[in-house]
Amino acid sequence: MKTFFVKPRIYYGNNSLEYLSTLDVKRVCIVTDKMMVKLGVTEKIKGYIKHTTCTIFDEVEPNPSLDTIKKALAIFLQDRPDVIIAVGGGSPIDAAKAILLMANEISEQLNFKRPKFIAVPTTSGTGSEVTSYSVITDTKNNIKIPFSDEKMLPDIAILDQQLTKTVPPTVTADTGMDVLTHAIEAFVTPKANEFTDIYAAKAIKTVFKYLLRTYRFGEDLEARGQMHVASCMAGIAFNNSALGINHSLAHAIGARFRLSHGRANAILLPYVIQYNAGLCDGTLPISAAAKRYAQIADMLGLPCSTTEEGVISLVAAVKYLNRALDIPETLAEAGVKKEELEESLPFIVKSAGEDVCTTGNPKEVRPIDFTHLVNWVYQG
């Protein structure tokens, strides 16, 4: 039996933040980071929710830590808000999800009622506003911990592209390639279905049409809006199917080196496509993933007279997009030192092998395969 589940209700387009003015609540908690406060985004949101008591927790860092979640949880349980609003990139939304999940675990002891959860993304990348996933960092052990639970799904998602105008080009590129990785992995996983294919395919085509335009012309609100919707669609797709080793390795590599999650995904993507399609071991003729990659090439209008040509065309297109976005081609080019990689390789291989995303990969991956793949991505 297959399932397809869609939540939350989505408000999108210019000035969709106006939905917040319809809320009739007494206590609101905003979970965000200091940049959102500095840019005045939290004040803008407060302007829509007048006549309420509003607490702002603005200490969420990139790759939010368990310590931060525990600190926010204490404040959250003390205030008992009617609504929790997560504002920012994937980190504040992931943090709010983890807060709610932990609060739910102790709800019976505290007579806790789950508040309405509203996610307001300000970057177009993670799709976290429509997924039941959250990634939290254990800084003591230097690992990223992925959580998956439907209790973490927001009730409302607000996609207002006005909030993305100040996103710098580098972040636009990295988060945009995260969208593409989400969509491609959701399309080739064996867990894909007729519904997820529709969302994933539309997201892929939108990224190739609008990401470079958004990167070069940051004030272009049409392009920004299209990327915001593509991010959401890719999130819906993988939340109902799965991701793969591109994300498993990005989680592990991102935890070890100073690489954003989106940039790590972007660097890995051409190599992972070739590996999964069987170009590395001669299994392409019997590879179901290769046929799916070729389908993507075909829908993008790339050369695709054979399955192999389609896979190679898609790899070339991703590499071209990376270059146009000034994204490094290898981990070495991204600044990772050889000795640091060699020291971290056992951790990366173990962590990626245990990552929940690996179970959705279309090709079985052994530890030795992870090792060869990481070394290949390092030097090209």
| pLDDT value of position 127 | 95
Query: Phi and psi dihedrals of 362, rounded to 5?
Result: -75, -10
Strands 133-138 and 143-148: antiparallel
How many other CB atoms are there within 10 angstroms of residue 131's CB atom? 27
- Over 80: is that where the pLDDT of 357 sits? yes
Q: Tokens standing for 211?
A: 């990401």
Strands 156-159 and 143-148: unpaired
**Cα–Cα dist 377/372, whole Å:** 9
8: helix, strand or coil: coil
Nearest Cα neighbor of 93 from 24, 20, 18, 33 is 33
| Percentage of residues of the chain with pLDDT beyond 90 | 86
Nearest 5°: the CA angle 282, 286, 287 is: 85
- Over 90: is that where the pLDDT of 147 sits? no
Would you give the end-to-end CA distance of the chain in angstroms?
A: 42
| pLDDT value of position 55 | 94
**Cα–Cα dist 259/263, whole Å:** 6
**Cα–Cα dist 321/329, whole Å:** 11
The structural domains of the chain, with segments of one domain joined by +, span 9-164, 172-379
Q: Which are the contacts of 291, defined by CB distance < 8 A and separation ≥ 6?
A: 307
| Residue-wise pLDDT tens digits, 56-69 | 999 999 889 999 99
- Span 172-379 CATH architecture: Up-down Bundle (1.20)
- Over 70: is that where the pLDDT of 109 sits? no
DSSP 83-143: EEEEEESHHHHHHHHHHHHHHHHTHHHHT--PPEEEEEESSSS--GGG-SEEEEEETTTTE
* Fold exhibited by the domain 9-164: Rossmann fold (3.40.50)
| pLDDT value of position 108 | 63
Q: How much is the mean pLDDT over the chain?
A: 94
How many other CB atoms are there within 10 angstroms of residue 220's CB atom? 17
| pLDDT value of position 6 | 87
| pLDDT value of position 50 | 86
Q: What is the mean predicted confidence (pLDDT) over 199-226?
A: 98
pTM above 0.85, yes or no: yes
Using omega within 30 degrees of 0 as the cis cutoff, is the peptide bond preceding 367 cis?
A: no
Phi-psi region of 51 (alpha: psi -120 to 50; beta: other; left: phi over 0): left
Q: What is the mean predicted confidence (pLDDT) over 24-48?
A: 95
**Cα–Cα dist 270/251, whole Å:** 17
